[in-house]
C-alpha cells in the first residue's frame, strides 16, 4: 500500500498544520471503459455519452490523491444531459432558426446578412467565455475531498466579457497580448476558486511569461515565413516553367508537374504544422509552470514541473493511440456493417443501392464517405484513455509545498447548481 504514504499520523490533523502530497494512482481498466462507452454510445443513439463521460471523470478524479486520499467527482450523467438539452433548446435551436430566417428574409448576398452573421459570431465568442467559466464552476462544484467541496464563486459574465474584449485585441497586437490575456483570465478563475471556505490566491503578473512568448512568437514568424517562401517559390517556379500565354494554372501545367507542386505545398504545411506543434507545446509548458508558480491556497504553494518534452511525448503517443484505436474500431464496425447490409438485402432493403446498377465509382464514393464518417466518429473512442494519460502527467508533475491547517478548512455554504456544463458541451470546450 505504498500509495497511501503521506497520510498524517492519527489525529494530528486536528491540531497541527499539514503538508499535502499530490500523487497519481494510475487508473485500471480505462481501455475497457473506453470501448464500453463507445459501444453504448452507438447503442443508445448518442445519449449515453453524458453518462460515459461522468464515469470517466469519476475514475480520473479518484486517481488524484491528496495525502493518499482520492478526490471525489459527484456529478451525474443526468446533470450533463439536461444542461446540454437546455442549451440546445435555448441557444442552438433558436440560432439555427434565426439564421435560416435571416437567410430567407435578407437574401444570400445581402450586406445585412453579413452584419447579422458577424453579430452572431461575436455573440458566440462571448458565450464561449461564459461556457469556459461555467464548465469550470460545475466541475469544481462536483469535486470533493474529505467531503469538502471545491467551488468557483464569481460572475461568469465578468469572465466572459474579459475573455471577449481581450480576444478582440489579439489580432490588433499581433498576438502580443496573449501572455497578459491568459494570465488575466487565469487570475480571475484562480481567485474565484475555493476549496471549502478557503479561497485560492494568484500572486503574479504576466511579466516572466513574456520571455518564453517572445521566443515562441519569433520562431513562429521565422517558420511561417520560411514555409511561405518555399511554397511561393515552388508555385512561381512551376508557373514560370509551364505557363503559356494565358489561362489558368491547372490547365497549363502538365499533369505530371501537379503532384510535385502539391507535394511541395502540403509537405511544407505539414512540416510547418509539426514545428508549430512543438513550439506551442513548449510555450504551453512554460505557461503551466508560470500559472502554478503563482497559485496558492492558505499556506500551500503550487509548483509544476511539466516540460515541453514530457507534454509532447504525451501528446504524440495520445494521437497515435487515438489513431490506432479508430483504425481498429473502423475495421470491426465495417465488418459488422457488411454483415448487417447482407442481412438487410436478404429482406430486400438496400440502403446503399448495391442492387441498382450504380457505377462502381459512385458506389466506391458512397462507401468511402461512410468509412470516413465511421473513422472520424471512432477517433473519439480512446479519448478517456488519453485524457487520463494527460491528467496523470500533469498531476505527477505537480507539487505542493508549505502547509495548511486542514481543520480550519470549513465546508463552504451549500450552492445549488443542478445543471451540467451544457454551454461548454455545445461549444466543444472540454479539458477533461
Q: How far is CA 85 from CA 80, 142, 162, 268, in A?
A: 9, 20, 27, 43
Q: Is 43 in the site for other proteins (CB under 8 A)?
A: yes
Q: Which of 19, 22, 47, 399 binds other proteins (CB under 8 A)?
A: 47
Q: Which of 31, 95, 263, 269 binds other proteins (CB under 8 A)?
A: 95
Q: Which residue has the cell 487520463?
A: 388
Distance CA(119)–CA(111), nearest Å, equals 12
Q: Is 259 in the site for other proteins (CB under 8 A)?
A: no
Pick from 284, 269, 381: nearest CA to 324: 381
Angle at 363 between CA 358 and CA 369, to 5 degrees: 150
Distance CA(371)–CA(167), nearest Å, equals 38
Q: Is 148 in the site for other proteins (CB under 8 A)?
A: yes
Q: Which is nearer to other proteins, 184 or 371 (CB)?
A: 371
Q: Is 159 in the site for other proteins (CB under 8 A)?
A: no
Q: How far is the CB of 324 from other proteins (least distance, A)?
A: 22
**Residue 260, all three cell numbers:** 510535385
Q: How far is the CB of 370 from other proteins (least distance, A)?
A: 15
Q: How far is the CB of 51 from other proteins (least distance, A)?
A: 4
Q: Is 130 in the site for other proteins (CB under 8 A)?
A: no
Q: How far is CA 125 from CA 158, 189, 420, in A?
A: 14, 18, 20
CB atoms within 10 A of CB 97: 10
Angle at 402 between CA 398 and CA 405, to 5 degrees: 115
Going 260 to 261 to 265 to 266, the CA torsion angle's sign is: negative
Q: How far is the CB of 159 from other proteins (least distance, A)?
A: 20
Using CB under 8 A as the binding rule, the residues of this chain from 357 to 416 that contact other proteins are: 357-359, 361-362, 406-411
Query: What is the Cα 304 distance to its own chain's centre?
Result: 20
Q: Is 239 in the site for other proteins (CB under 8 A)?
A: no
- Contacting positions for other proteins (CB under 8 A): 1, 3-4, 7-8, 10-11, 13-14, 28-29, 36, 40, 43-48, 51, 55, 58-59, 61-62, 68-70, 72-74, 77, 84, 88, 92-93, 95-96, 99-100, 103-105, 107-109, 124, 144-148, 195-196, 356-359, 361-362, 406-411, 425-428
Amino acid at each position: 500500500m505504498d500509495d497511501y504514504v503521506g497520510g498524517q499520523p492519527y489525529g494530528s490533523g486536528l491540531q497541527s498544520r499539514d503538508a499535502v502530497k499530490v500523487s497519481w494512482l494510475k487508473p485500471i481498466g480505462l481501455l475497457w471503459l473506453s470501448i464500453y462507452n463507445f459501444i453504448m454510445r452507438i447503442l443508445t443513439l448518442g445519449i449515453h455519452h453524458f453518462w460515459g463521460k461522468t464515469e470517466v471523470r469519476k475514475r480520473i478524479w479518484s486517481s488524484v490523491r491528496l495525502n493518499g486520499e482520492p478526490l471525489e467527482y459527484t456529478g451525474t450523467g443526468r446533470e450533463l444531459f439536461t444542461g446540454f438539452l437546455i442549451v440546445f433548446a435555448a441557444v442552438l435551436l433558436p440560432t439555427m432558426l434565426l439564421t435560416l430566417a435571416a437567410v430567407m428574409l435578407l437574401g444570400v448576398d445581402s450586406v445585412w446578412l453579413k452584419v447579422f452573421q458577424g453579430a452572431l459570431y461575436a455573440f458566440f465568442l462571448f458565450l464561449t467565455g461564459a461556457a469556459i467559466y461555467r464548465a469550470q464552476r460545475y466541475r469544481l462544484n462536483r469535486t470533493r475531498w474529505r467531503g469538502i467541496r471545491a467551488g468557483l464563486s464569481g460572475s461568469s459574465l465578468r469572465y466572459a466579457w474579459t475573455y471577449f474584449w481581450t480576444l478582440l485585441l489579439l489580432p490588433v497586437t499581433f498576438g502580443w497580448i496573449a501572455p497578459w490575456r491568459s494570465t488575466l483570465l487565469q487570475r480571475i478563475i484562480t481567485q474565484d476558486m475555493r476549496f471549502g471556505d478557503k479561497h485560492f490566491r494568484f500572486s503574479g503578473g504576466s511579466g516572466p511569461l513574456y520571455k518564453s512568448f517572445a521566443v515562441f512568437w519569433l520562431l513562429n514568424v521565422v517558420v511561417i515565413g520560411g514555409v511561405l517562401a518555399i511554397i511561393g517559390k515552388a508555385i512561381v517556379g512551376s508557373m514560370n516553367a509551364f505557363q503559356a500565354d494565358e489561362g489558368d494554372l491547372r490547365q497549363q501545367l502538365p499533369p505530371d508537374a501537379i503532384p510535385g507542386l502539391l507535394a511541395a505545398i502540403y509537405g511544407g504545411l505539414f512540416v510547418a504544422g509539426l514545428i508549430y506543434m512543438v513550439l506551442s507545446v513548449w510555450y504551453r509548458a512554460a505557461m503551466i509552470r508560470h500559472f502554478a508558480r503563482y497559485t496558492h491556497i492558505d499556506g500551500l504553494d503550487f509548483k509544476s514541473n511539466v516540460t515541453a518534452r514530457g507534454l509532447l511525448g504525451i501528446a504524440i503517443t495520445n494521437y497515435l493511440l487515438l489513431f490506432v484505436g479508430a483504425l481498429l474500431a473502423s475495421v470491426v464496425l465495417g465488418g459488422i456493417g457488411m454483415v448487417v447490409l447482407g442481412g438487410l438485402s436478404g429482406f430486400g432493403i438496400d440502403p446503399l443501392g448495391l442492387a441498382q446498377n450504380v457505377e462502381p465509382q459512385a458506389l466506391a464514393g458512397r462507401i468511402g464517405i461512410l468509412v470516413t464518417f465511421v473513422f472520424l466518429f471512432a477517433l473519439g473512442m480512446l479519448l478517456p484513455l488519453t485524457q487520463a494519460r494527460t491528467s496523470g502527467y500533469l498531476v505527477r508533475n505537480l507539487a505542493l509545498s508549505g502547509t495548511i491547517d486542514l481543520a480550519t478548512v470549513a465546508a463552504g455554504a451549500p450552492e445549488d447548481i443542478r445543471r451540467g456544463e451544457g454551454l461548454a458541451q455545445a461549444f466543444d470546450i472540454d479539458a477533461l
